[in-house]
Structure formats: structure tokens, C-alpha cells
Amino acid sequence: MNLEEALAENARLRSRVEELTCENEELAKALREAVGRVEKLERESARQAGPFRRREELKVKPEAKKKLGRQPGHRGAFRQQPPDFDETILVTLDNCPKCNAPVERGQMLTQYIEELPPIKPVVTRLVTWSGECPNCGEVHSTHPLQTSRAQGAAGVQLGPRAQAFGILLNKHYGVPLRGACKILQQGFGLSLTSGGLSQLIQRAGKKLEGHYDQLIEQIRHSDAVYADETSWYVGGPGHWLWVFTTPHSTVYRIASSRGHPVAAKVLGSDFAGVLVSDCASIYNKFPGPQHKCIAHHLQALKRQRQLPNMSDPSYLDAWDRLWQDVLELTRLRGTLAADEFAARRLQLTATVDELLAREVTQLGDRKFRTRMANARPHLLGCLHHPVDPTNNRAERAIRPAVVARKISCGNKTDRGAKAAEILMSLVTTAHQQARDFLTDLAASLSLQALPAG
């Protein structure tokens, strides 16, 4: 290759390098734009999860992580020996399983193994009769296994206990409809579609509506009710799940409003008990005694500390000490004499008034004082009435529904929402009262449990 050819080749290669450099820059720009779009979609996805997750869950500081495992001193848990057994299997060891030599100094080792046998559904061919009564007209014979009188294509049905188990999986354990159907199929050999289970749940809710109304009446006559609410889906966002709970019963209500009328309709206009809630203004219109959750006050206090220009923590520290004293006095309610308890309560009341009367200038101090002033009539309700100092009871009652909402987003129809509030209320109440909801629900679903007609 002579000099002219080498120079020409060099020029060609330089031109190609420039082309590749431009192409590389274009590809890098496209990559940056693509990464930007992905990051934007991820941020939008996180914002869409907002109604279902608190900010604290999205951004947990390392020091805020709770230590894993049970608290020190907690009793160990282990499987208890069954009170009886079905069979004994003796596996001898006369010879070594490796070299077949005789085994000496044998020692007996005993285990109890609990196993699930292969389950095959019990199929019953049920024959009933219909006829004419000269007094009542058309009448039918019935059996406890019946849940309806459907014939033809709808004549193959699940029994009441199988139906109750499917409902329990979905409404108590939070298993999605398809997952519940798979459990019924794989574990018990029962065939059911998710649409069929959905319709079954709605029919069960309709049958148990009277029990739900009785539960509401129990709540209305309770000495104290703990209330809370959270966002819910019914075919889309914009609904709310309410909970009203006592130590012995719980009522859920799904509504399109977060306003005071929803709570007023559930509790009734003549509710005479103590209402325990957070500081949401929707509860302020209740005329009776109330108590505002101290745990929510402490959370708000922590948020105010993190505001800018909070160099002097003394005012918030005073409120913190006050709430710790209130919690301590609440714990001592049953051990102190009545006059001593009243004297300490009066002292704490005076401290509240003194803190509210202070002149404060820092933003966090002013915001917290305003919050306390708005809730002033109900700040020390736990010292005037025998109620819990926090709303934790309602928080625990609503937590399983929140977990289920993260999986299924709630309900698709108003009928499904109505059935959900009824069945969740009844199963939660049965759990509180240590009753076997599966047996109770199966009995309620039986055709013989319905009024004659």
C-alpha cells in the first residue's frame, strides 16, 4: 500500500469513527430518555400505591426497624403431644441398615406424626319431594345439606360446610377468590369457579343480613366503641371502609363517604357510650363523651419535631411528658384509691390548660398546640371513662382488611361490598367470642335454617 492509499484509508476510517461516535451519542441519549421514562413510571406507581401504604412504609429508616423475633422472656412454642392416636407403627432395627451387622443396645425412639390423608369429597345424591298441601299449597321436603332447591344445570351444588369454608378463606383469611378456589380444588377435590364463589358470597351475605343488623344493635348499646376508617375500592377508588369495634363485637361498613353521617347512621342518634377515635374532625359532631387516641398525639408530636427551625424542643417535651403521665395513670386506674386518682387527674387537666395557654413561636409548637386545642374537650377521656388510652383496638380490627385490600383492591360491585361488610363483621365477631364461625355459617346456609315458604 503506497502513501496515497494509506491516507485515503485513514480518511475513510476517520469518517467511519465520526459516524459511529454520532450514532453512539444518539443511542446514549435514547437510553437516558428510556431510563427517565422508567423512573417516572416507577414514581407514578409508588404514588398510585399511596392509598394503600403509609409514607413510613415506603421510607423506613434503618434505626426504626424493629428487632426480629419475640420479646425476651416469651414462652417458647412447640407442638403438643396429641391426646390420642389412630395407629402405632413399629419399625424394628435388628441389623445395621448399612452393613447388616447385628445391632446392640437398642433404644426405643417415639414420634407422633400428624398427617393429612388424601381427601375425597363425600358426594350425596339427595332426592326430595314437592307436593300440594290442602292448607298451605305447594310444600317441599328438605335436608340439612341443602342450600337451595335448584334443579337441572344448577342441581350440582356444594354443601353448606364446603360453602362456609370457601367464604372463610376469602373473608377471614384474605385469600383472593381464585386462590380460595384452588385451595378447595387441590386440598379437597371441590370444583368451584371464582365467579361461582363470588355469587355464593353475595347469597350468603343476603341470608345473614338480619344477623348483621343485630350486631349493629349490640354495638349501639355498648359502653365504649373504637372507630377508624381507611380507603376502599368498589369498582374503583373513592370509597371508605369503616370499623366500629368493642372487646366483644365488630361492625364493618363500606360507604362512598368519609363524612360524619356514616358513623352517625351506624351508631345511631341515641348512642350513649364513649367513642374512641383518632383526631379526625368527622367524629367531633357526636354529642356524647369521647376520647382521642394518645398514640396519634405522640405520632403528631414526632412529626412536628422534624419541621425546620425547631431549635427549642422544650414545649413539645412538656407535652410528651404529659402524655406519658396520662398513660401511666391509666394503667394505675385499678390500683389507686378513687380520691388519689381524681387528684392526679385534676393535676393533669391543669397541665393541659397551662400548655394550651403558653405563647409559642416555633412552627411545630404552634401546629401541635392548635391540634391539641381542637381536641381539648376529649383529650383526657380515658381518665374520665374506663376506656383504652389509644385506638389500637380499632387499628387491629382494620388491619386484616387493609392486607386484603392490598391484594384485591376491595370489591367490584355494591352487592359485593354489602356482602363483604356483613361477612367480615360476623366472622370477626365470632373470632372475638371464641366461637366456631365455620360451623355457625354452615348452619346458617342450610336451607332448613331459612324461614318456611
* pLDDT greater than 80 at residue 167: yes
Q: In the predicted model, what is the mean pLDDT of residues 99-120?
A: 90
pLDDT class of 452 with cuts at 50, 70, 90: very low
Take residue 385 and report the three cell numbers written for it.
371513662
Domains of the chain listed by start with CATH number? 220-290+391-412 (3.30.420.10), 294-384 (no CATH)
Q: Is 208 exposed, middle or buried (0-12, 13-18, 19+ CB in 10 A)?
A: buried
Q: What is the pLDDT of residue 451?
A: 47
Reference 278, options 381, 355, 362, 190; nearest CA is 381
* pLDDT greater than 50 at residue 1: yes
Residue holding cell 413510571?
A: 41
The whole-model pTM stands at 0.76
Q: In the predicted model, what is the mean pLDDT of residues 200-205?
A: 94
pLDDT class of 205 with cuts at 50, 70, 90: very high
* pLDDT greater than 90 at residue 37: no
How many other CB atoms sit within 10 Å of the CB of residue 77?
Answer: 7
Task: Compute the mean pLDDT over every residue in the chain, rounded to the nearest whole number.
Answer: 88
* pLDDT greater than 50 at residue 197: yes
Q: What is the pLDDT of residue 77?
A: 80
Q: What is the pLDDT of residue 52?
A: 45
Cβ neighbours of residue 72 under 8 Å, at least 6 residues apart? none
More confident: 219 or 37: 219
242-292 pLDDT, tens digit per residue, is 999 999 999 999 999 999 999 999 999 889 999 999 988 889 888 889 999
Q: In the predicted model, what is the mean pLDDT of residues 431-450?
A: 87
Residue holding cell 332448613?
A: 448
Query: What span, in angstroms and rounded, lies between the C-alpha atoms of 55 and 161?
Result: 42
pLDDT class of 430 with cuts at 50, 70, 90: very high
Q: What is the pLDDT of residue 409?
A: 82
Cβ neighbours of residue 246 under 8 Å, at least 6 residues apart? 218, 219, 222, 224, 225, 226
Reference 155, options 145, 164, 169, 165; nearest CA is 145
Reference 280, options 305, 260, 303, 301; nearest CA is 260
